[in-house]
Structure 1
Amino acid sequence: MTDETYDVVVVGSGGAGMAAAITAAAHGLSTVVLEKAPVWGGTTARSGGGVWIPGNDVLRKHVPADDLDHARRYLHAIVDPAAGVDPTRIDTYLDRGAEALRFLTEHSALDLEWVRGYSDYFPEAPGGRAGGRSCEPLPFDTRRIGADAATMQPFYTKAPLNVVVKQSDYRWLSTGLRHWRGPLHLLRVGLRTILARLRGRRLVGLGSALSSSLLVGLRELGVPLRLDTALAELIRDGDRVTGVLTTAGDRITARRGVVLACGGFDHSAAMRAEHQREPAGPRLSLGAATNTGDGIRAALDVGAATALMDDAWWAPSIPLPRGPWFALAERSLPGSIIVNARGERFMNESLPYVEATHRMFGGRYGAGDGPAENLPCWLVFDQTYRDRYLFAGVTGGRPLPKSWLADGAITRAGSLGELAAAIGVPTGVLAGTVDRFNGFARAGVDADFHRGASAYDHYYGDTTNKPNPSLGALTKAPFYAARMVPADLGTKGGVLTDERARALRADGSVIAGLYAAGNASAAVMGHTYAGPGATIGPALVFGYLAALDCAAPDAPDAPADTGVSGSRTRATNPG
């Protein structure tokens, strides 16, 4: 057992935690990062790595007309006031977002590019952008982080080293050979891989690239990162949080503040049973396995309020034997529909993933004790779809693995009637549903659920499919049904915070010395999801703002000058 003192103690090494630690250390504060897992990077390292921060410097190079007034109208339009999100938090996120990203870029190896055309999730809402506001990290050479590469949180698909498929690639790879951009992007991925091997580079992409880039900042600023170090409880002096106690009995004092950035309660069966609807649960979460709500429970113990605990960053997924497959493009490709146990469609299948899962629950957020209205449900498609498109990583035309069929994740039948009988839905109803949808596909207009009416629907559609990239008839046997389940990318509820990321009590008063960011905090997005990277974007911004508040001149034990210039500053850290 040890007894140490730092200015700032950060719990969690994902995007929010590293953003907070980099900012604190660059402002001259001694800082430590505690990570429960034996690996660093958290759920950020397992993600697609997208960053949705309107008006940032990278975006403005390509979309100079994307002013914050448009983004402000957009967020205030889509975030339901009933979610209880303080409008000031939304405005602060927008007003300080570009500043935060600029600072983190200057004090790390972060290098982003705009994902051209990756639409906001509600582009037709006031202020929405069909051209998109999302950025993604460039591939990162892990030789730059040396031995730390061996302890990075693995990307959940376990892609081979140097095979980096960017978000901008995946859109076109999913449609195979249907469009000339598909082979072009496949060639780009291949050349990137070959060149990396020839040059001795060790590339990672997506969330792994984002996390690695931020780790460079931690290391250059001398911030210690303690793996296998779990939070047990928060230490208080009166009403102020003054440090943490670890499960190993170590006492770490925080003179300026504790930042909880240790994720949600993705893998806590008890917390999910208390707050959320089954059958979703820990087994179907793609978040880091060590996200068991430790920070949220510790905050509750010192009087913090929580919000949005019934919701998550849902991801409609196919429960394959190796684990859930996040069905991102599969739902939008023509020649497919989603039906419930009654054999009926119940939504626009191309909806953004959080909204799509809400429909699977029947329009609710995942809370309550009653049965989910549209579960179980299946993605139904035909052989034309299977021949044309990438499906769960299997290229078009290739047979699906026999284990998927044997496990029941995928059902195949020679006719729609046989398929209906195999999955237990009314035969006549399924046939009628497909017949009605086929009429919509031929006309190019979905009169029931308006699939293909939004620019977002078309992003993962097939641009060569006419008259609507999102609609295609199901006509060619055999027919398939893939089970769809409500998995998630992490939980959405957590500690209630203000615009400075300070933890709040139920009466709105501030818990001095305690901050929360990322999935440990209640989402600024409320029950919705603005666009690709709208989890990581707020995590970075509010991690940054939490550290700035710790460094403020009126904070306890504040040094005379905590300002930094644009150049990198190395902090002195014990340990």
Structure 2
Amino acid sequence: MLFTRLKPFGTGPVQGPHVRHPLHRSRCHVKRFHTGNEAREFDVIVVGSGCSGLTTAFVAAKHGLRVLVVEKTRWFGGTTAFSGGGAWIPANKHQPSIQIEDSTGEASKYLHNVLGPLYNQDLIAAFLKSGPEMVEWMEAHSKVAFKPVPLPDYHVSTPGASVGRTLLTKEFDGRVIGKLIKDVRYPLQGLSAFGTMQVDPAALPKLTNPFGSIGNLGYAIQIVSRYILDVIAWGKGTAMANGNALVGRLLASLQREGVQLWNNSAALETVLEHGRVTGLKVHHSGHTIPLRVTKGVVLASGGFGRSPEAQEYLPHEWTASAPGSTGDGKRIGLQSGGALAPKNPMNGIFAPISLLKVPGKPIRRYPHFAIDRSKPGSLIVGPDGKRFENESAPYQEFVSTMHRKGIQKAFYVGDRTHLRKYGMGMALPWPYPIWQLLRRGYLEHAPTISALADKIGVPRVNLERTIEQFNSFAATGKDLEYSRGANEYDRFYGDSSVKPNPNLGACQRGPFYALRIYPGNVSTLFGLATNTDAQVLDARGNPIAGLYAVGCDQNSVFGGAYPGGGSSIGPGMTFGYRAGLSLARSKK
């Protein structure tokens, strides 16, 4: 994966430089806020700037509507900007290019088997129909561009499972959006180099092995040189990948349609007239600005993962969702007469999370999805020094196991070869420096396994025996304890050059490293009840005129289950597309 300014790790800003600039005078920004109570009128107002809200905004604008996006923080992009940018869309147009034939029938069978009683016939039928349509329409009319990846569904042995349903976003040149690039949320530390240097994930082997060949060295020099020039010209890197690329592509599309983007603008409450939403009050610089709306308000604030009330719905403390995700959409929806869906069995996208504590700054969080912990030469143990799950298991399942077994803290252990070749969380592969992470205690190291056990506080004899047994599994290629590397999903994230099992390698070359991981999430999945067009429903199941909810403000179409990579972004963009079309059809 990939890195704020040209500083060692642990010294840069969390979201970029903490300097507030005036709103830029670009086509999709208002020039300046009025400080009085002057009313403004739009057809559509979108609350939040993640991919679901931006998709809704684009579809509505493309159909001729006047659209405003209000973002509470300075930074556009929401949790999408932190993510890998993958969208789970069965039967998409790109699967045949990787020799995969898929159908909505097979996808429906798979979801029936995965979801069981959580299967919502109407919502899932709408998703399966409109998902492929959304991909085709967005690629035809916007700057959004996807690419296929042969990633298997997360329940690989379940009937109806397939490959290639997860679409990644093609990398993007952020210079296209001009000064707006400065207001895009920074990628997570560990998913970029030096703060904002990003590359296409497919190019990582070149960048992490710069001296492996002349081609690799040339590529690394090209990437780093561009980054240095970008920092001089723009204050940050402009090559965008992963979720940042998806946000960049959506923002460029909105610019072209003249959509207004207001940052530092918190949505307060809707205005209701005769049961219909006719306006929205927005707070900026100490002033409340009433806005009229002719078509509707779209809640897309990213859920409530950073709100204290998240503890009522999630069985753990830590989240890697964007700092602005404090439940504005949920609150506004309820105040407007909307109803919450019944609680899901799992109300969040779970992921193991490591923490970097920098004095005087917010704690930085890194979600360990799969790329590092699935690689050979590493294992994860509980406080007793013993393994407790297949380290390569999908993140939802892995954290669910931590919950079930009562593990509140675990230790991701790797040897020198593993760290230098693959990285561990925010500690990137060689030649990137790790001394700041060691100094701040994010990463622990010791010359021997017994010394490492003492440092992290697990029983020495247990950790030694665990690693001895693990190394014997690596030698044969068969994990007799948790079957790591035995299925297609595990192997996708392994190292195909390692035989006989791409996920298993001996942890035997010192020094040895460990980092603490905790059960966490990257967003909530519980929210407002909606219909197939993402209209918010009241307690009786009737739509509230002029009010929509998409993304993590809308209750999960999968009832909190997670069938494949991008099972939040895929439905978020799909129902954003449907909401945009509904708004375009609606009467004033």
> What TM-score do the two structures reach when normalised by structure 1?
0.84
- In the aligned structure 2, how far is the partner of 1:39 from the partner of 1:404? 26
Closer, same or farther: CA 155–380 of 1 in aligned 2, 3 Å? closer
Q: 1:545 Cα shift?
A: 0.6
Identity %: 34
For structure 2, list consecutive stretches of 5 or more residues without a partner in the other structure: 1-36, 359-363
Greater Cα shift, 37-46 or 332-341: 37-46
- 1:344-423 residue pairs with structure 2 within 5 A? 344-362=386-404, 373-392=406-425, 394=427, 396=429, 401-423=434-456
- In the aligned structure 1, how far is the partner of 2:474 from the partner of 2:207? 20
- In the aligned structure 2, how far is the partner of 1:509 from the partner of 1:426? 58
Closer, same or farther: CA 526–443 of 1 in aligned 2, 3 Å? farther
Closer, same or farther: CA 417–202 of 1 in aligned 2, 3 Å? closer
The one-letter code matched in structure 2 to 1:143 is: R
Q: 1:230 Cα shift?
A: 1.0
Q: CA RMSD in A?
A: 3.1
The question of whether the paired residues in 1 share the 8 Å contact of 2:349 and 2:524 is answered with yes
The question of whether the paired residues in 1 share the 8 Å contact of 2:427 and 2:437 is answered with no
- In the aligned structure 2, how far is the partner of 1:297 from the partner of 1:228? 19
> What TM-score do the two structures reach when normalised by structure 2?
0.82
The question of whether the paired residues in 1 share the 8 Å contact of 2:181 and 2:238 is answered with no
SS in 2 for 1:33: strand
The question of whether the paired residues in 2 share the 8 Å contact of 1:264 and 1:490 is answered with yes
- Residue equivalent to 1:305: 340
- Residue equivalent to 1:337: 379
SS in 2 for 1:361: helix
Greater Cα shift, 411-420 or 208-217: 411-420
- In the aligned structure 2, how far is the partner of 1:346 from the partner of 1:435? 16
Measured against aligned partners, the alpha-carbon deviations of 1:161-218 in whole angstroms (never above 9, x if no partner) come to: 9944223334x4698599x8x9977765655666899999943222222112112222
SS in 2 for 1:420: helix
The question of whether the paired residues in 1 share the 8 Å contact of 2:187 and 2:195 is answered with no
Closer, same or farther: CA 479–376 of 1 in aligned 2, 3 Å? same
- 1:129-528 residue pairs with structure 2 within 5 A? 129-130=162-163, 132-157=164-189, 159=193, 163-170=197-204, 172=205, 188=219, 191=222, 202-247=238-283, 248-268=287-307, 270-280=308-318, 285-301=319-335, 302-306=337-341, 307-308=343-344, 311-321=347-357, 323-327=364-368, 328-362=370-404, 373-392=406-425, 394=427, 396=429, 401-528=434-561
Q: 1:19 Cα shift?
A: 1.0
The one-letter code matched in structure 1 to 2:157 is: E
Residue 7 in structure 1 maps to residue 43 in structure 2: yes
- In the aligned structure 2, how far is the partner of 1:122 from the partner of 1:263? 26
- In the aligned structure 1, how far is the partner of 2:302 from the partner of 2:399? 21
The one-letter code matched in structure 1 to 2:340 is: A
Q: 1:9 Cα shift?
A: 1.8
Q: 1:159 Cα shift?
A: 4.4
The one-letter code matched in structure 1 to 2:371 is: A
Residue 529 in structure 1 maps to residue 553 in structure 2: no
Q: How many residues align?
A: 534
- In the aligned structure 1, how far is the partner of 2:142 from the partner of 2:425? 34
Closer, same or farther: CA 362–96 of 1 in aligned 2, 3 Å? same
- Residue equivalent to 1:111: 145
SS in 2 for 1:392: coil
- In the aligned structure 2, how far is the partner of 1:90 from the partner of 1:140? 31
- 1:18-33 residue pairs with structure 2 within 5 A? 18-33=54-69
- In the aligned structure 1, how far is the partner of 2:339 from the partner of 2:279? 16
Q: 1:15 Cα shift?
A: 0.9
The question of whether the paired residues in 2 share the 8 Å contact of 1:174 and 1:391 is answered with no
SS in 2 for 1:249: strand
Measured against aligned partners, the alpha-carbon deviations of 1:94-134 in whole angstroms (never above 9, x if no partner) come to: 1111211222223321222223x33332333222234x333
- In the aligned structure 1, how far is the partner of 2:144 from the partner of 2:49? 16
- In the aligned structure 2, how far is the partner of 1:463 from the partner of 1:186? 23
The question of whether the paired residues in 1 share the 8 Å contact of 2:399 and 2:519 is answered with yes
Residue 556 in structure 1 maps to residue 578 in structure 2: no
Greater Cα shift, 34-43 or 303-312: 303-312
For structure 1, list consecutive stretches of 5 or more residues without a partner in the other structure: 364-372, 558-575
